[in-house]
Homo-oligomer: A and B are copies of this chain.
Amino acid sequence: MPMTPSPPTIRDVAKRAQVGVATVSRVLNNSPNVTAATRAIVLQAIEELGFRPNAVARQLTRKTRLHNIGVITQLFLSYRSFAHRLRGVQLALSEYADKYELVLYTVGSLDHYAERLSYIAKNRLIEGLLIVDLDLTAEQHKLLTQSGIPFVGINHFHGRDWTCIGADNRSGAHLAAQHLLELGHSRIAYLGDAFIDSYHFITGRERFESFGQTLAEAGRPLEERFIRFCSHDYDEAYQAARDLLTQPVKPTALFAMSDMQALASIDAARGLGLRVPDDISVIGYDDLEIAYHAGLTTVRQHLELNGSVALRCLIDRIRGGNGAPEPLPAPELVVRQTTRRIEDTPS
């Protein structure tokens, strides 16, 4: 049992097989200029040592540079909208002749996020980074900036000193509130993700605040009893919605900060014998493909386009440019079949 703390190299193999390093290299690269006999010996040594060629060293001699673009995102949050955005990124990427690879960093917690960021900054294996649905602390921002890796956020955060590309959460939530108000609702509920003490998860907070503000300004402020926070998990959202709808006084309308939570709410409502939109109006946010098929009224935020625009902006920066990103269309209200006027509601 060798005591080598570091993994075996091609030299160790050569020594063990009693051949030169070049021979080992030849075997590794399937060169025809090796006897079957020596090849066998080398292969044996490789096997015994558990040798695995070092990809990095190989790249160095081959003079091949890495062309990787990182995408960092959360594992347990909104992977559906992530899929749409990722698609936009891929589509835009395919238009470049350069062979950029997409490297996915999926973080499961804030600690994990911090760790990955410093790993990225330290090793600089990627030429650019797309930060999806995550914010940066001042410290993290500095870290990345110092690393020299261009980065672009995919999502809209207010008042950041770095480029975030995404539809405005506030105006989107405003649209939703406006819509429900115009339909005459006053007992309006909010279902969103938990953003408490979660520094990075800004999206939920922005939508919540803007929604509440719009309602308040219209003189129909959001009531405590009509607010629920939960994860984007379907079952959790279902339960939260059910909880909301089994109160003595029920809301007549509900805004969910994501389409998935809206769909879960609809199912919960129907499970309670409530009709949508007759008994309760439901509006979501995102306009996932699924929203179209479910006939869900929602706020469209052009997820795929968002991904494409962000990627193009990033590539531009990688290439030394620093122009403004293409403007993204503002969020728009998409009215389908899950909202209706309160007056029309049979009582």
Contact = CB atoms under 8 A, between A and B. Distances in A.
B50 A320 contact: yes
Contacts of A33: none
A65 to B, nearest CB: 6
Q: How many copies does the complex hold?
A: 2
A294 B42 CA distance: 59
A55 B290 contact: no
A289 B57 contact: no
A98 to B, nearest CB: 13
A160 interface: no
Contacts of A126: 55
B75 A79 contact: no
A254 interface: no
Nearest to A90: B106
A123 B290 contact: no
Given A83-B79, A293-B293, A103 B106 contact: no
A26 to B, nearest CB: 13
Contact of A55 (B87, B94, B125): B125
Place the interface of chain A in its size category. Answer: 35 or more
B106 A104 contact: no
A94 B66 contact: no
A35 interface: no
A101 B103 contact: yes
B56 A75 contact: no
Contacts of A66: 55-56, 125
A165 B35 CA distance: 37
Interface in A28-67: 30, 50, 53-60, 62-66
A314 interface: no
Given A56-B59, A90-B75, A99-B119, A30 B146 contact: yes
Given A75-B94, A104-B102, A263-B293, A123 B64 contact: yes
Of A83, A87, A101, most B-chain CB atoms within 10 Å: A101
A108 interface: yes
Contacts of A64: 56, 123
Interface string A145-189: 010100000000000000000000000000000000000000000
A294 B59 CA distance: 49
Contacts of A79: 83, 87
Contact of A58 (B93, B124, B289): B124
A148 B58 CA distance: 14
Interface in A73-90: 75, 79-80, 83, 86-87, 90
Query: Which 3 residue pairs are nearest across A and B when measured between Cβ atoms?
Result: A83-B83, A102-B104, A56-B59
Given A53-B148, A90-B104, A103-B104, 11 more contacts: A53-B124, A55-B125, A56-B56, A59-B123, A75-B91, A75-B94, A80-B83, A80-B289, A94-B108, A102-B103, A293-B294
